[in-house]
Amino acid sequence: MKERVRKLFERLETPVDALVVANSVEPHLDQSFFYLFDVPSGLFEGSVLVARPDGRIDLLTSPLEAQTAEEAAKGDTSITVHRVERDGTEAQLGKILDGATTVGLNFAELTHGWFTHLEKLRPGTTWVDVSAPIRKVRAVKDREEVERLRRAAEIGSKVGVEIPTLLRRGMTELELAAEIEYRMNRHGASGRSFATIVAFGPHGAEPHYSPGEARLAAGDSIVCDYGAFFRRYASDITRSFHFGRPDPEMHRVHDIVERAQQAALAAVRPGVPGKEVHLAAQRVIDDSPYKGRLIHGVGHTIGLAVHDGWGYNAKVDEPIEEGMVLTVEPGIYLPGKGGVRIEDDIVVTRSGYEMLSTAPRGYLEVAA
């Protein structure tokens, strides 16, 4: 944890005396809190973390999670856990920040309520937005983070193998989504990393579709986009299937998306602008009869959040770095008919990438 704090302070363009990361209430929790203080469970609503350039951390938390925090900090002399009632947090924070005239805040996640509290608490303080360096430092994972992401991807991959065995005529999208989430938990997930997407038939043309009461019928294409949390770290996998009567066009679309993904993967290596990975996939799709039907960026970083602060599309010049964990997810969407998306999780290595998700990605027709 101390090393993560130091790494963040090294990235700051404007030096600060301290960095404050403040949580509000679910869902307004700053995942950078859990990046700097690696704790396996708990919400830590209303908790505040104060970090110093030398790696020291002061953590203010309520009795609800004080024991969890103390267990996580055990043996680390750089971490001090303060048990405070919620109405005493601000007073204790004022003491901890005594002498700090320049303080970094993660503006991208800090609530307006917390900012007004801080302004009243520390009038005259210079507040510095450190959200950009926080995003950059979190995008490059350390060894422990990669191992948790690998485990989350393994859980999702096991479920990807099982999905075809779950399909039955007449089941609803919601029923299949529930089965996917149940099986992720059975395989060791602490929960889903985002709301599971299951889309039958024409609904597959909506990339962020929410499953409903539509029932699976022979001839339907199926898009399943889902992910697991393992010790707070996320996976994000998409597999597309076909149920019942063959559809030559959807088979052709799936083959094109597979080729687009392989082209994108071939472009991955440290130093390559993000847009080059996207454009490699886009060229394959635009050279097919489905030009223009890739309607989103081809990937994003994953970590403590499923969309972990950095995504790439046709305009992103920022380079890929060794240690980033990315999704690669081209798709083709045909309004009124359906869609195909194939998404995998990779870690960028010195010479290319390593695949974290392993579920079969070939075209699969499941008998109705």
Tokens of 89: 């947090």
Reported as a pLDDT band with limits 50, 70 and 90, residue 347 is very high
Query: Class of the 2-138 domain?
Result: alpha beta
- CA dist 257 and 286 (Å) reads 11
Instruction: Indicate the pTM of the whole model.
Output: 0.95
Confidence of residue 75 (pLDDT cuts 50, 70, 90): confident
Mean pLDDT of 35-52: 94
Average pLDDT, the chain: 95
| Alpha carbon 115 to its chain's center | 26
Per the CB < 8 A criterion, the answer to whether 40 and 232 are in contact is: yes
Instruction: Output the CA angle 107-108-113, nearest 5 degrees.
Output: 60
For residue 86, the model assigns a pLDDT of 66
Q: List Cα–Cα distances, 162 to 158, 180, 227, 292, 364, in angstroms.
A: 7, 9, 14, 32, 13
Q: Report which secondary-structure segment, H or E, holds 209.
A: none
The pLDDT value recorded for residue 76 is: 85
Return the pLDDT at 85.
79
CATH for the 143-366 domain, from 3.90.1150.10, 3.90.230.10, 3.90.1300.10, 1.20.950.20: 3.90.230.10
Distance from chain centroid for Cα 260: 22
How confident is the model over 158-199, as pLDDT tens digits? Answer: 999 999 999 999 999 999 999 999 999 999 999 999 999 999
- Spell out the domain ranges in the chain: 2-138, 143-366
Tokens 């926080």 belong to residue: 134
pLDDT at residue number 28: 94
pLDDT of 6-40, one tens digit each?
A: 999 999 999 999 999 999 999 999 999 999 999 98
What pLDDT digit, counting tens, does each position of 202-261 carry? Answer: 999 999 999 999 999 999 999 999 999 999 999 999 999 999 988 999 999 999 999 999
- Give phi and psi for 309, each to the nearest 5: 100, -15
Give, in degrees to the nearest 5, the angle at Cα 180 between 174 and 186.
Answer: 135
Taking the CA atoms of 108, 113, 116 and 121 in sequence, report the sign of the dihedral they define. Answer: negative
Residues 84 and 60 sit within 8 Å (Cβ to Cβ): yes
Contact 340, 331 (CB under 8 A): yes
Could you tell me how far CA 19 lies from the centroid of its own chain? 23
Q: What per-residue confidence (pLDDT) applies to 224? A: 98
Nearest CA among 350, 298, 294 for reference residue 326? 298
Give me the mean pLDDT over the 65-80 stretch: 90
Above 70 in pLDDT, residue 60? yes
What does the pLDDT look like over 83-105, one tens digit per residue?
A: 997 677 888 999 999 999 999 99
Cα–Cα dist 24/301, whole Å: 24
Encoded tokens for 113: 């309520």
Which sign does the torsion angle of CA 324, 327, 328, 332 carry? Answer: negative
Compute the average pLDDT of residues 273-284.
98
**Which amino acid would we find at residue 274?**
G
Band of pLDDT at residue 66, cut at 50, 70 and 90: very high
* 1: pLDDT strictly greater than 70: no
